[in-house]
Each structure stands twice: as C-alpha cells, then as structure tokens.
Amino acid sequence: MRFPSSIFVSVSLFTAETTAALYLSTTYRSAGDQIWQGLTLLFTLVPSVLVQLTLTFIHRDLSRDRPLILLLHILQLGPIVRCLEAFCIYGSVGQVEEPYVSITRKKQMPREGQSEEVERQVGQAEGKLFTHRAAFSRTSVIQAFLGSAPQLTLQLYICVLRASLSQARYSTLMVISLLSIVYGALRCNILAIKLKYDDYEVDIRPMAYLCIFLWRGFEIATRVVVLVLFSSVLQLWVLPVVFLNFSVFFFYPWILFWHSHSPFPENIEKTLTRVGTTIVLCLLTFLYAGINMFCWSAVQVKLNDPDLINKSQNWYRMAVYYMVRFVENASLLLLWYMYKTDFYEFIFAPLLVLQLLLAYAMAVFFMLVFYQFCHPCRRLFSSSMTQGLWDCSSFLCVLCTSASPHSRPTGRAALETSVHQEPSNRPNTSSDSADDVPNDTTYDVLNDTIYDVPNVENSVRGGVNGDVSHSMSCNV
C-alpha cells in the first residue's frame, strides 16, 4: 500500500496558506486597509467552506452518526482530522486480519496489441484510504482555483500598487498560493487520467510529474502576471474581461447539454432532490470556469454523460483554447504597454512583454512533451496529438481563407476548382493505422460525436474540400 503523501501535501498547503492569509489580514487591519483585509479573508474562508462541504459530501457524513466530525468541519478543521484519520488507517494495515476483501480487475497497458487483465484483492482499509485520496484530490483543485488563484492575483496586485514586492509578508503568501495552484492543477491532470482510463492500471512516472509541474507553473504564473499588469492600468476594464471569460466557460457545458436534448441527470446522489442536483451541477461548472480562467482544465465537464466528464481526448478544443488564450494575453499586454504610467518607468517594458510571451510558449512546449512522450496512456489515444493539432490548424487556415472575399471562388469557378485541383501532399504524422482507411465519417466539434456521411466519388476529394473533409474526420 502506498504512503498517503498526496494527502499530507494537500493538508500542508491548505494549512500554510490559511495561516499566512490570516496573519496578512491582521497586518492590513492594523494599517487601516479594511478593503484588502476583507478580500483576503474572503478568498480564504469561502474555499475553506467549500472544502469542508466537499469532504462531508464524499464521505457521506450527513447520513452517518458522526456529530464530532461534523463539528470539526464546522470549525474548519476537517482536512486536518481527515489527514490524521488517513494516517491511522495506513498505520493499522497488516496488524489485524480483515474478514472481507474485494476483488478488482484492471487492464494493463497494451503491449504488441494485447492487453492482459489482472485481478487484485483490496481490503477494507485500502478502500477507505482510496476514498481519502480521491476526496483530497478534489479538494486540492477547489482550494487551488477558488481560493489560491484569486488570492495570488489579489496579493500581487496590492504589491504592484505599493511597489513592495520584496516584503516577506507578501512574498510568503504568494509563494504558497502559487505552489497550491500548481499542485491543484497537477492533481486535476492526474484525476483526469484516472477517470478517463478507469479500466486500466495507470502508472505515472516522475518525468510525467515534472512535465506537468513545469507546464502548469509557466502557464499559471504568466496568466496571473498578465491579469495583474492589465488591471494596474485599466482597473475598470479588467472586470468585463474576467466576467466574459468566466461566463463563457460557465455556460459552455450547459449549452452543450441543452443542445444534446438529454434528460436531466438524476444519478449524482440518491438523497439529492432536483434542486440539490442543480446546485451541485452549478458548483461543478463554477469550478470548471474557475480552472479555465487561469489554465486549461484537464477534466472536461460533460453534463449529458453519466460520469459528468468527457472521456474523449479533444485535441481541437485544446488547440483552440491555447490559441485564443495566447492572443488574449498578447492583447492585454499590448494594452498595458500602451497605457502604462510613469510608475513602470524603472521596468524595461518590451523585455517584460517578451519574457511573458516566451513563458507561455514554454508552457505549451512542456504540455506537448507530456502528451507526446510522458503521458502514461498515450498508447490508448484514438488519434495522434500531432495529427489532431495539424488538422485543427489546417481547419482554421481553411476558415480564414474561405472568409476572405478576394480568395473565395464563386459559381462555376468554385466547382471546377473543387473537382480539378490536385490533393494536397500534407505530411502524415499520425501513428494510428486507421488513417489509411478512406474517411467516411465527420467529427462534430461541438458535441464530440461521430456520424456517418454518404461517400462521394474519389475524383471530387481534392483541394479545399479535401482538406476540410480530412480535418473534420479524426476521431478525437
């Protein structure tokens, strides 16, 4: 049985950040800064309450007679108690023979096209410890993106206004918050892998952890600095930017759900009413929007799925997200450079802009390295990442070309071009053998579904129409 190190790290970051935030709020109070004190306490207490509710919901304490545990959760001491309980369970393993064990079956990673199924006995203690790990994985994500991320943004904004980046009382909380966000994003990636490939025995190696840490570190740090710089010169305009980002990612899963005409999900929890289920789904999409505000969410919410997540690997959505986010960051930096005040005269602004853009490019680089070489389940990908990104880029280029009025053929010329143009010799970088089969399916980017289309004559598959057909027919 593995040592519960992830639980210890989660509780340590939670305790350290809460302590540092409470101490910093007292300094704001003594200095007469009631607004900063109130916001610091808000970004500390709200995620703490959500963490307590999550632990209570996962462990089903409301349906069990455990009044002491509920009292400790009300006092915001739930994570510490759960951590001690997990270590007690880990220490008692092997001392008493368990009367009941369960058998789990997991597939191994396929080798030479074959995958073996392995049976394994799981005792009650190990099952309880697994529940603790799953609960703290989710609470780490909640603490990171609903508490640490806005807390880091707030404290960095205050430091920029006061020009006091070197003070230890600010830097301590900011460092802890940044580590908490990166760790929460890392746990989100690991959680997505285990949820998508639940039937397989997943072994995540240290190099994968390192790539995820660097990827998320560069991405989140760049995003926070960009938002702080933009808000320091255009305080009012940052509110529409944040509201628009948050609204898009909050309503996007609901739009897909309404578009699919699926029934309302009723299998989340048997004891929940329809109102309670709606509240839980709104909190889930709220967390999803908070994650995408600062970085790409590895767990994609899909409300019409029984597990509420999208288990397909959507390279299109990921590529579009990073393209749009890069353009947004560059635009915000350009606006900051245009409207920056004399306060930034001691900073070489062009070099800072270049460093931030390169940092975001480094995040994309480590992401590609992770999915191409370090992902534990890359053999199970239905399509190559390189092929998916190439097809997405080709599709966007075709859209841009077709939108141009000067390059758009009309009438009979368009028909002759689509019939007589030679097929493009685009390099095929996919390792999937299914690419040799003629494409007779179309991919719906909005709904993540594959549906058949009638075959047409091979002589018509060329030019722009051939590129569009090829780029929209990969099964992500």
> What does pLDDT average to over the chain?
79
pTM for the full model? 0.79
Q: Are 455 and 393 contacting, i.e. CB atoms less than 8 angstroms apart?
A: no
Mean pLDDT value across residues 274-292: 90
Rg (CA), the chain: 25
Does the pLDDT at position 451 exceed 50? no
Q: What is the helix (H) or strand (E) element at residue 119, kind and residue range?
A: strand 117-123
**Residue 210 CB: number of other CB atoms within 10 A?**
14
**What is the model's pLDDT at position 381?**
74
Mean pLDDT value across residues 206-227: 94
User: What pLDDT digit, counting tens, does each position of 177-192 carry?
Assistant: 999 999 999 999 999 8
Lowest mean per-residue pLDDT among 274-278, 323-327, 456-460? 456-460
Question: Residues near 255 by Cβ (< 8 Å), separated by ≥ 6?
Answer: none
User: What pLDDT digit, counting tens, does each position of 452-467 carry?
Assistant: 444 434 443 444 344 4
Mean pLDDT value across residues 319-343: 89
Mean pLDDT value across residues 16-36: 90
Return d(Cα 406, Cα 83) in angstroms, integer: 65
Does the pLDDT at position 219 exceed 90? yes
Nearest-CA neighbor of 78 among 177, 19, 11, 130? 11
The helices-and-strands tally (H runs, E runs) of the chain is 15, 4
Mean pLDDT value across residues 90-113: 71
User: What pLDDT digit, counting tens, does each position of 372-428 carry?
Assistant: 888 888 777 766 666 666 666 666 676 667 655 554 454 444 444 444 444 444 444
Where does the pLDDT of residue 330 fall: very low under 50, low under 70, confident under 90, or very high at 90 and above? Answer: very high
Question: Residues near 212 by Cβ (< 8 Å), separated by ≥ 6?
Answer: 185, 186, 189, 190, 370
Does the pLDDT at position 200 exceed 50? yes
For residue 103, give the 3-state DSSP assignment: strand
Question: Residues near 113 by Cβ (< 8 Å), separated by ≥ 6?
Answer: none
Nearest-CA neighbor of 33 among 169, 171, 168, 234? 169
**What is the model's pLDDT at position 419?**
42
- Percent of all residues in the chain with a pLDDT value above 70, rounded to a whole number: 75
Return d(Cα 293, Cα 219) in angstroms, integer: 11
- Using CA atoms in the order 326, 330, 333, 337, what is the torsion angle rounded to 10 degrees? 170
C-alpha torsion sign, points 31, 36, 38, 40 = negative
Does the pLDDT at position 167 exceed 90? no
**What is the model's pLDDT at position 418?**
43
Return d(Cα 163, Cα 11) in angstroms, integer: 32
Residue 11 CA neighbour count, 13 Å, CB half:
21
Q: At what angle do helices 206-233 and 349-369 cross, to 10 degrees?
A: 150
Amino acid identity, residue 293? M
